[in-house]
A and B are shown apart, each in its own frame.
Chain A
């Protein structure tokens, strides 16, 4: 029963991105008579800016992570914490991303990129990482920008609530991926 649901959702999910790619322009052009080509080009321009803007962040983080791993310090850290994480079934490979995610969007993107490079896109670690990335936010950054924009200094319970949400998202990512992909 559960296996059938998983097979079904995997089948459905294969079609989600193609469906969006055809469905959104269909709605725009056929139903709303939007100039979809012009809209697309207009939006696509931002892709170039964003990709260029992340270069300094990627360099900063990937160099630091690359050095950390090459020195053997990452292996040391993982072997130290791994027994503890094994008890709750948390893969140590996803530990750096889990810690970095609330702190920095660019930093966690660097760590996620590192997972893809090291384990490939079919690895369970990459899948857990991608799910973590999609289900949590850079809490500290959002808090600073949103509250800072209107001069709020007393943030009350916002930060703690945001961090609880991050922790729940990260742990959910691990267990959901383990149930579905293993």
Chain B
């Protein structure tokens, strides 16, 4: 899909640029922007290192594990099909904790570990379980309470102002994810087909 969006942007640019007589500006933009992209990425290195370094301290000192423990009562309600002592719960909680702290690098490996453990409980190996759908929807709603390092890098000092708005907006999207996943799972078209086992 991104392929079509990307090609579409370039295709429309050249067509519209030709019609409006701004084809020279289109050429200039392509060359200037490719240079700008590298300058931006190089400028990000420092601030990314600062952020990721601090988060590594949080990981090594066990702060992430403390958050994992404190969230356990919530995860038991969210994933009623998974036994509360199953290893999948631990991975799910750690994944969410890593997401909350904006540790994308740590979150993905933990999330994949959680999926593998949820798959062990799955009776229909090619079909997602309720727990998997809930886990995925919460993940895609973004539960982070700390801004992505890239946004902090680009916003600079103004990043402080975005903190509160992001927490409120992300809270709304997570609530929406949980409500819709719970409602949708009961709909007939999303039920697991048990007859072809």
Contact with B along A57-95 (1 / 0, CB 8 A): 011111111111111110010000000000000000000
**Shortest CB–CB separation between residue A163 and chain B, in angstroms?**
8
- Is B85's CB within 8 Å of the partner chain A? no
Q: Identify which of residues 139-182 in chain A touch chain B, using a CB-to-CB cut-off of 8 Å.
A: 139-140, 142-143, 145-147, 149-158, 160-162, 164-169, 172-173, 176-177, 180-181
Where chain B touches its partner, the secondary structure class is: helix
Q: How far is the CA of A122 from the CA of B79 in the complex (A)?
A: 41
Task: From A62, A67, A122, A162, give the contact of B137 (CB < 8 A).
Answer: A162
Task: From B60, B159, B174, give the contact of A39 (CB < 8 A).
Answer: B60
**Shortest CB–CB separation between residue A52 and chain B, in angstroms?**
7
Known interface pairs A13-B161, A137-B141; A59-B38 also in contact (CB < 8 Å): yes
Would B61 and A32 count as touching, CB distance under 8 A?
Answer: yes
- Is B177's CB within 8 Å of the partner chain A? yes
Would B16 and A71 count as touching, CB distance under 8 A?
Answer: yes
Contact with B along A98-122 (1 / 0, CB 8 A): 0010111001011011001100011
Task: From B62, B126, B132, B169, give the contact of A131 (CB < 8 A).
Answer: B169
Would A156 and B128 count as touching, CB distance under 8 A?
Answer: yes
Listed residue (A67, A68, A138) with the most chain B CB atoms within 10 angstroms of its CB: A67
Q: How far is the CA of A166 from the CA of B180 in the complex (A)?
A: 12
Q: Identify which of residues 3-53 in chain A touch chain B, using a CB-to-CB cut-off of 8 Å.
A: 9-10, 12-14, 16-17, 20-21, 24-25, 27-28, 31-32, 34, 36, 39-48, 50-52
Contact with A along B148-161 (1 / 0, CB 8 A): 11111011111111
Interface size on B, residues (CB 8 A): 106
- Is B37's CB within 8 Å of the partner chain A? yes
Nearest chain B residue, comparing its CB with the CB of A139: B140
Q: How far is the CA of A51 from the CA of B33 in the complex (A)?
A: 17
Q: Identify which of residues 41-65 in chain B touch chain A, using a CB-to-CB cut-off of 8 Å.
A: 41-42, 44-63
Known interface pairs A142-B139, A176-B165; A65-B57 also in contact (CB < 8 Å): no
**Shortest CB–CB separation between residue A56 and chain B, in angstroms?**
9
Would B162 and A127 count as touching, CB distance under 8 A?
Answer: yes
Interface residues of A (CB under 8 A from B): 9-10, 12-14, 16-17, 20-21, 24-25, 27-28, 31-32, 34, 36, 39-48, 50-52, 54-55, 58-73, 76, 100, 102-104, 107, 109-110, 112-113, 116-117, 121-122, 126-127, 130-140, 142-143, 145-147, 149-158, 160-162, 164-169, 172-173, 176-177, 180-181
What are 11 contact pairs spanning A and B, CB under 8 A?
A24-B55, A55-B37, A63-B33, A64-B13, A71-B22, A103-B1, A146-B112, A147-B128, A152-B126, A152-B128, A162-B137
